[in-house]
């Protein structure tokens, strides 16, 4: 079962979220720092002009207030340029910059003379002005003058806006670059896992163990899996050897018994029955011992069928049978190789025993069909032969079909076994996977 999430997705999402968060925080800090710096520079300019203006304010002998022209900012001379200055007292405007023309800046009386106030105000043309002002006491009569310098904020706001746009574009580009790097890095980092996946796939196709060098983080897992596989293989081999030895130990005395009995029919029948029961139960035990290893494994059919056909040509050499195998190279079958050989070998051997001259084996993915030109089976015989868990002593007496082991192994392996007529009128047996291969 595949989880809805994947390691790759998790790593990319995790790294992506962290990159976006870091870039957003960095962007905010940088934007704020730049805006603060720009504001301070703007205020310093206003402060410079205010100080220059204060230095220019003079009182004439007749009490009039005069102001020399502040230098350094030509926009004070340009009407409604956004840069203004103004000197006023409690009653009226005493002097103003040419840029104010006939307008005036609203006056706010400062509480403490000498203290600098900064505020925002709407200018003559609707501009948002940054106003820096200070009150000044003149002469012995402590005459109070209000001196103000103002500048349009549009310039500094535009500068901050431009910087923020540039910052956003740069960080966005950097973010995309980092995300691409994360995707590449995750892909590179997970490459050994994809290789492992491929090797696991090969394992189901018959490879004995996982091979190759893996990174330190995965190597222990691969080694542990190989240890399990080796252990599994040893157990199966041990079980197989044990079964082989058991067969030898049981059937050799039977062979002696048969030889000593001199072929007495009653004894022969019983000996034959015991031998076939031994074969059936050993085949079943062999299948049980290897079924765990067979999970998900697929066996290529072409070499298996070629081996069996070559063996049967020798076994039935005296009859000059035409044993034909049609099998595309990609055809395979689920299960364990020895069990499959046991089933197909018995089917082909049975076909050879009953065939007149021809045996045809055709295979495709998940399907094997064995046909002969012999007498075939009656529906009752076919039903008896295909019965689940058929007991040898209950099978069709004297039929010599040898299908009991096939029926039993097919049932154990969850395979379907069906009987029909071949095109020559003989028996056609099909062995198929119940769930077709994908």
Partner 1 sequence: MRVLVVEDEPQLTLALERALEAAGFAVDTAYDGENGWHLGDTESYDAAILDLGLPKIDGITVLGRWREAGRTMPVMVLTARARWAEKSQAFNAGADDYVTKPFEMEEVVTRIRALIRRAAGHAAPEIACGPLRIDTNGGRVSRDGMPIALTAQEFRILSYLAHHQGRVVSRSELVEHVYDRDADPDSNVLDVLVARIRRKLGVEAIHTLRGQGWRMEVPDDGA
Closest residue by Cα to residue 294 from 346, 243, 245, 332: 332
Q: How far is the CB of 417 from partner 1 (least distance, A)?
A: 16
Please give the size of the binding site for partner 1, defined by CB under 8 A. 41
User: By C-beta, is 195 or 284 nearer to partner 1?
Assistant: 284
Q: How far is the CB of 412 from partner 1 (least distance, A)?
A: 15
Contacts of 317 (CB under 8 A, 6+ apart): none
DSSP helix/strand/coil, 268 = helix
Binder among 60, 91, 213, 259 for partner 1 (CB under 8 A): 259
Q: How far is the CB of 319 from partner 1 (least distance, A)?
A: 10
Site for partner 1 contains 256 (CB under 8 A)? yes
CA distance 376 to 354: 8
CB burial of residue 229 (10 Å; 0-12, 13-18, 19+): middle
Paired tokens of 176: 């995309």
**How many other C-beta atoms lie within 10 A of the C-beta of residue 148?**
27
Gyration radius of the chain over CA positions: 50
Site for partner 1 contains 271 (CB under 8 A)? yes
Stretch that binds partner 1, among 7-15, 37-45, 98-106, 246-254 (CB under 8 A): 246-254
Stretch that binds partner 1, among 25-33, 85-93, 274-282, 389-397 (CB under 8 A): 274-282
CA distance 198 to 294: 18
Binder among 153, 258, 297, 298 for partner 1 (CB under 8 A): 258
Residue 434: what are its φ and ψ, rounded to 5°? -70, -35
Site for partner 1 contains 260 (CB under 8 A)? yes
CA distance 115 to 134: 6
Site for partner 1 contains 179 (CB under 8 A)? no
Q: Would you say 282 and 243 are in contact if contact means Cβ atoms under 8 Å apart?
A: yes
Q: Would you say 348 and 308 are in contact if contact means Cβ atoms under 8 Å apart?
A: yes
Paired tokens of 30: 């940088």
Which string of DSSP letters, residue by residue, matches 336-388? -HHHHHHHHHHHHHHHHHH-SSEEEEEEETTEEEEEESS----HHHHHHHH-T
User: By C-beta, is 186 or 340 nearer to partner 1?
Assistant: 340
The footprint of partner 1 on residues 76-105 (CB under 8 A) is none
Site for partner 1 contains 250 (CB under 8 A)? yes
User: By C-beta, is 110 or 285 nearer to partner 1?
Assistant: 285
The footprint of partner 1 on residues 277-336 (CB under 8 A) is 279, 282-283, 286, 307-308, 310-311, 314-315, 317-318, 320
Residues 333-362 vs partner 1: string with x where CB under 8 A?
----xx--xx-xxx--x-------------
Q: How far is the CB of 229 from partner 1 (least distance, A)?
A: 20
- Render the burial of 346-358: b for 16+ CB within 10 Å, e for the rest: bbbbbbbbbbeeb
User: By C-beta, is 85 or 333 nearer to partner 1?
Assistant: 333
User: By C-beta, is 86 or 287 nearer to partner 1?
Assistant: 287
CA distance 279 to 152: 104
Site for partner 1 contains 255 (CB under 8 A)? yes
Give the residue carrying structure tokens 């050879």. 352
Residues 205-244 vs partner 1: string with x where CB under 8 A?
---------------------------------------x
- Chain residues binding partner 1 by CB under 8 A are 244-245, 247-252, 254-260, 263, 268, 271-272, 275, 279, 282-283, 286, 307-308, 310-311, 314-315, 317-318, 320, 337-338, 341-342, 344-346, 349
């Amino acid at each position: 079962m595949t989880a809805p999430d994947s390691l790759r997705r998790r790593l990319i999402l995790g790294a992506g979220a962290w990159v976006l968060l870091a870039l957003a925080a960095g962007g905010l800090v940088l934007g704020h720092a730049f805006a603060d710096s720009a504001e301070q520079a703007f205020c310093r300019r206003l402060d410079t002009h205010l100080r220059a203006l204060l230095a220019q304010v003079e009182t004439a002998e007749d009490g009039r207030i005069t102001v020399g022209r502040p230098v350094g900012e030509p926009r004070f001379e340009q009407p409604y340029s956004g840069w203004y200055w103004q000197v006023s007292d409690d009653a009226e405007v005493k002097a103003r910059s040419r840029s104010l023309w006939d307008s005036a800046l609203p006056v706010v009386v400062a509480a403490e003379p000498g203290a600098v106030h900064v505020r925002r105000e709407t200018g003559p043309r609707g501009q948002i002005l940054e106003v820096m002002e200070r009150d000044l006491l003149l002469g012995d009569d402590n005459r109070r003058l209000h001196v103000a310098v103002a500048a349009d904020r549009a310039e500094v706001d535009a500068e901050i806006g431009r910087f923020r746009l540039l910052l956003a574009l740069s960080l966005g580009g950097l973010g995309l670059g980092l995300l691409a790097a994360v995707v590449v890095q995750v892909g590179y980092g997970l490459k050994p896992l994809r290789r492992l996946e491929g090797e696991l796939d090969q394992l189901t196709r018959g490879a004995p163990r996982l091979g190759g060098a893996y990174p330190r983080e995965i190597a222990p897992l691969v080694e542990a899996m190989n240890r399990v596989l080796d252990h599994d293989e040893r157990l199966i081999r041990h079980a197989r050897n044990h079964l082989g030895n058991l067969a030898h130990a049981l059937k050799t005395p039977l062979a002696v018994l048969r030889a000593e009995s001199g072929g007495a029919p009653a004894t022969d029948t019983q000996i034959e029955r015991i031998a076939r029961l031994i074969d059936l139960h050993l085949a079943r035990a062999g299948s049980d011992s290897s079924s765990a290893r067979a999970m998900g494994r697929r066996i290529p059919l072409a070499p298996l069928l070629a081996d069996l056909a070559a063996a049967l040509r020798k076994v039935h050499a005296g009859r000059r049978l035409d044993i034909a195998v049609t099998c595309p190279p990609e055809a395979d079958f689920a299960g364990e190789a020895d069990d499959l050989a046991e089933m197909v070998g018995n089917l082909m051997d049975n076909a050879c025993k009953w065939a007149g001259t021809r045996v045809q084996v055709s295979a495709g993915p998940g399907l094997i069909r064995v046909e002969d030109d012999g007498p075939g089976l009656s529906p009752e015989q076919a039903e008896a032969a295909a019965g689940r868990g058929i007991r040898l002593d209950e099978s069709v007496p004297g039929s010599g079909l040898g299908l009991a082991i096939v029926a039993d192994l097919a049932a154990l392996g969850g395979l379907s076994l069906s009987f029909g007529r071949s095109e020559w009128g003989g028996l056609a047996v099909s062995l198929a996977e119940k769930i077709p291969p994908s």
